Amino acid sequence: MTVLLVDDEPIMLKRLRMIVPWDDLGYSRVLEAQDGVHALEILAGTAVHLVISDLVMPRMDGIGLIEATRLLNRDIAFIVLTGHDQFEYARRCLRLGVRDYVLKPIDTNELVHAIQAAERETIHPSSKTDHGVQGELPSLSQIWARLRPSSNEIITVVALAFPKSLSHVMEKLPTVLAQARDHVRTITARQTDECVSMFFVGSESECTRVTRMLEQRLQPLKPGVVTLTSGSAHGFASPQLQESIERAGDLSRNRRLFDGSNVSVEKDQSVWSKESNRLIEPDRVRGLEVQLTAALLRQDRQNAGSALKNLIDLVVDSAPDYRVLEYALSDLVMYLSAYTTRGDLNVSPRTVSALLRESVTIEDVYARMRDLIEDNFLSPRAAANASPVQHVDAAKQYIEEHFSEPGLTLPAIADAASLHPGYLSTLFPQYVGKTVVEHLTDRRLDHAVELMRSGWNRLTEIAEASGYRDPYYFSRCFKRRYGEAPSSVLRRFRG
């Protein structure tokens, strides 16, 4: 098993290593981090069974680390270390599902007993559910039983959906949640990679204040926010919660692509409608599809691009909604598939959905769709049309030739592969199994190990020759990949 020790004092980390018989307790790996951010980087890429963490640390404290770990859906046992004057702080950690806390100065026997108890609970988990971030919606009766509202309190549910995965907001969200807990009692449940639901119990004014605070603090991250409020456990049902989460996701995606648009098409409302000037007439859509198809048959890239842009602009001007855009572009792909003469198509509405999830702006959507259409629906010509795998191979070859250059960028790699950077980002993982950045990082770190093996003995020179200007960042990447510091690996090669 693996244990992660987190403390901003190197002396304390060294003492924790020395006073505990880790091998006897079954822990073959002992990792260290000096703050919550560093610990989170390790947890994101390493299987850890137990975390022993101080509470007060720079950048991200112990509570922030626990919140962030729960948001990552990592079922890891936590033991916190605290001083006598931080007792109430430690109790808050217990409500987040922390297994135990140990007072400073540390008693070795007490710490060992806490570790043994955490190990037993990991192997034979109890039926209890923590009050931290969970991986699924708790039932309303569970919420009511845990938060126990009084007669003058209400229960409020806030569904948050972010344009990117939760890792993008991991440093900010735990801090905001900690501020919310100063006013109301909370349970937080992660729904998907982008969605979180929070359950608040407090007075009506407190719940309103916390909800507004969340919206204001998280506004730069452009979340979709949907709020439900009830005075009893039966005031709303689970289907309503799920619908709120879906609505939050729609709002978030709309804010990402349509600059704050709150338009949302109901599930039972037709996307194509002549009765509503907020939606799109089908004749206009079909006309643009015909224009685009005719341009492709003529090998006319310019007019094909213009027809595609007009279709996207039609959605932006008439019904700026993520679902409408997804439907329109999926319909376009199906229409083109019916009329193309190519037999090697590998594109479907699912491809469009994936493309939209990766797009950051409407301009990005247009560039990716243009590349997708040109690659899949233009008739092959003698030397002009490379297959997707050939584009990927060109990108890999360029990385192989230039990975040691610190200034190497995704646009430069995409240009060498004759693709838009956004489309290369979508295409590359399909053929390589990892992103462009992950492939580049792996190649650089492999090269660093090769240099160590061949006799290089200065880490700054190894980092620079492997494409890293910053030796500290090189060390972090190296530890994330191999689980140990480059200096340790270098010492082994020296013998």
Strands 195-202 and 185-190: antiparallel
**Domain-embedded: residue 265:** no
**Among 123, 148, 182, where does a domain finish?**
123
**Domain-embedded: residue 277:** no
Lowest mean pLDDT among 20-24, 123-127, 205-209, 473-477: 123-127
Residue with more model confidence, 210 or 98: 210
pLDDT at 389: 83
Whole-angstrom distance, CA of residue 188 vs CA of residue 177: 9
DSSP class of residue 219 equals G
Residue 137 maps to which CATH number?
3.30.70.260
In a 3-state reduction of DSSP, which class is residue 326? helix
Predicted confidence band of residue 254 (pLDDT cuts 50, 70, 90): confident
Residue with more model confidence, 128 or 410: 410
In a 3-state reduction of DSSP, which class is residue 77? strand
Same domain? For 392 and 490 the reply is yes
Residue 487 maps to which CATH number?
1.10.10.60
Q: What is the mean pLDDT of residues 333-357?
A: 72
**Domain-embedded: residue 369:** yes
Q: What is the DSSP string of 332-398?
A: HHHHHHHH---S-----HHHHHHHHHH--SHHHHHHHHHHHHHHHHSPP-TTT---HHHHHHHHHHH
In a 3-state reduction of DSSP, which class is residue 182? coil
Q: What single-letter amino acid sits at 220?
A: P
Encode pLDDT of 40-81 as tens digits. Answer: 888 877 888 899 998 888 878 888 788 777 666 566 888 888
**Domain-embedded: residue 178:** yes
Query: What six digits make up the tokens of 439?
Result: 């492939």
Predicted confidence band of residue 381 (pLDDT cuts 50, 70, 90): very low
Residues contacting residue 288 through CB under 8 Å, at least 6 positions apart? 307, 310, 311, 314
Same domain? For 432 and 451 the reply is yes
Same domain? For 400 and 481 the reply is yes
Same domain? For 365 and 437 the reply is no
Read off φ and ψ for residue 129, nearest 5 degrees: -115, 135
Omega within 30 of 0 (cis) for the link into 320: no
Encode pLDDT of 78-96 as tens digits. Answer: 888 876 445 455 555 655 6
Lowest mean pLDDT among 128-137, 144-153, 238-247: 128-137
Predicted confidence band of residue 306 (pLDDT cuts 50, 70, 90): very high
**Domain-embedded: residue 266:** no
**Domain-embedded: residue 268:** no
Whole-angstrom distance, CA of residue 236 vs CA of residue 415: 53
**Among 84, 101, 123, where does a domain finish?**
123
**Domain-embedded: residue 273:** no
Predicted confidence band of residue 188 (pLDDT cuts 50, 70, 90): low
Does pLDDT of 193 surpass 60? no
DSSP class of residue 34 equals S
Cα torsion angle, 420, 421, 422, 427, sign = positive
Encode 222-280 in three state secondary structure: CCEEEEEEECCCCCCCHHHHHHHHHHHHHHHHHHHHHCCCCCCCCCCCCCECCCCCCCE
- For residues 433 and 442, the answer to whether their CB atoms sit within 8 Å is no
The 10 Å Cβ neighbour count of residue 380 is 12
**Domain-embedded: residue 263:** no
Same domain? For 59 and 90 the reply is yes
Same domain? For 365 and 305 the reply is yes
Residue 107 maps to which CATH number?
3.40.50.2300
Burial of 411 (0-12, 13-18, 19+ CB in 10 A): exposed
Q: What is the mean pLDDT of residues 460-480?
A: 91
Q: Which uninterrupted H or E stretch holds 467? A: none
Whole-angstrom distance, CA of residue 278 vs CA of residue 259: 17
**Among 377, 409, 435, where does a domain finish?**
377
Q: With left for phi above 0 and alpha for psi between -120 and 50, is residue 394 left, alpha or beta?
A: alpha
Structural domains in the chain (count): 4
pLDDT at 171: 59
Same domain? For 118 and 37 the reply is yes
Choose the most confident range, by mean pLDDT, from 25-34, 350-359, 422-431.
25-34
Same domain? For 247 and 322 the reply is no
Same domain? For 419 and 489 the reply is yes
Query: What six digits make up the tokens of 162?
Result: 């972010």
What is the C-alpha R_g of the chain? 27
Q: Tell me the CA end-to-end span of the chain in Å, nearest whole number.
A: 27
Domain containing 171 equals 133-258
Same domain? For 153 and 224 the reply is yes
Strands 224-230 and 154-161: antiparallel
Same domain? For 359 and 394 the reply is no
Same domain? For 96 and 116 the reply is yes
